[in-house]
Structure 1
Amino acid sequence: MGELVDRVDEQDRLLGVVDRGEAITHHWLHRVATIVCRDGEGRVLVHRRAADMSRFPGEYNFMVGGAAEAGESYEEAAARELTEELGVRVPVRFAFKFLCRGEISPYWLGLHEAVVDEDITPDPDEIAWHAWVTEDELREMARRPTFMADSVDALARYLDRNA
């Protein structure tokens, strides 16, 4: 069995524990925790996913993160993912969640924010390139076909919330 996740319903209530691959195959809802990283100047971290990633290879995104493991809260998953993907341990703050219909499968997306003023060490198995960009630059990048489709809705919600 692979990665275990909590299968949840349309109200994000626990239904049971399932294999993440099975959740995706059957379009069962599960939880994904993401983080928007900002530096001290308010710029947003953007990255390109590694070319050999199983999902969205080589595409750009403004969030780091992944599936919440079975029994893990959104906040716990976000903190873990931040350390795994960027090699930093900084506080994460829950911003909002929404039901993302997803290009591959639907899921609940819990979006968090973190201020990262220290050097990051991106995991090369996950992140091929990264840069800090302004919100205007981010908006421009999100219009390109190489920007991860699943994150476009999250970006609109995030920027509208901060407007």
Structure 2
Amino acid sequence: MGELVDRVDEEDLVVGVVERAEAIERGWLHRVATTVCRDPRGRILVHRRPDGISRFPGQYNWLIGGAAGAGESYEEAAARELSEELGVFGVPVRQVFTFLCRGEISPYWLGVHEAVVRGVIVPDPTEIDWYGWFGEGELLEAVGRGEFVSDGVEALRRYLAA
């Protein structure tokens, strides 16, 4: 059995539990939790996805995250993804907003969080090929070059407006 997620409706209310692959295949709404990682100077972590990865290979992103598991809150999923993808544990995440994202692969509810990351980062090489810290201006300039995960570009617009 694959990864189980909560299937949700247009109001982000749980209507069942399904496999994530089925939710994507059928276009069913589910939840994805992401985190904007800032360093103590306020810079934002930007990373490149490996070329061999199934979703958005070789593209850049400014969000760390993934699907929220069945019964898992956005905040729990965001903290779990930080530990899995960056090797960062015990960092508090603060939810900034959620929105219904009409994603490139499938639609989903996206929870965007923030966390200040101090200390050593140990990225999972199957998820992150490269990373660096960008100021907001540098990030906007990089996004303008068009090499970023498309779903993250919409989230960035909303994040900077929040």
TM bucket normalised to smaller = over 0.9
C-alpha separation between the residues in 1 aligned to 2:94 and 2:53? Answer: 27
Task: Let me know the Cα RMSD of the aligned residues.
Answer: 0.6
Counterpart of 1:129 in structure 2 is 130
One-letter amino acid matched to 1:58: G
Alignment of 1:69-148 (within 5 A): 69-89=69-89, 90-148=91-149
1:145 shift after superposition:
2.2
* 1:127-154 C-alpha deviation (Å, 9 max, x unpaired): 0000000000000111122111010100
Distance, in Å, in 2 between the alignment partners of 1:141 and 1:3 is: 33
1: CA distance, partners of 2:147 / 2:37: 20
Distance 2:146 2:55 in 1: 15
- Deviation digits for residues 52-73 of structure 1, max 9, x if unmatched? 1111011000000000000000
Q: What secondary structure is seen at the aligned counterpart in 1 of 2:33?
A: strand
Secondary structure of the corresponding residue to residue 113 of structure 1? strand
Moved >4 Å (runs of 4+)? none
Separation in 2 of the partners of 1:156 and 1:77? 23
1:158 matched residue in structure 2: 159
| 1:55 alignment partner in structure 2 | 55
Deviations 1:31-56 (A, max 9, x none): 00000000010000000011111110
Q: Flag structure 2 segments of 5+ consecutive residues without an equivalent.
A: none
Q: TM-score, normalised by structure 1?
A: 0.97
Please say if 1:42 is aligned against 2:42.
Answer: yes
- Equivalent pairs: percent with the same residue? 68
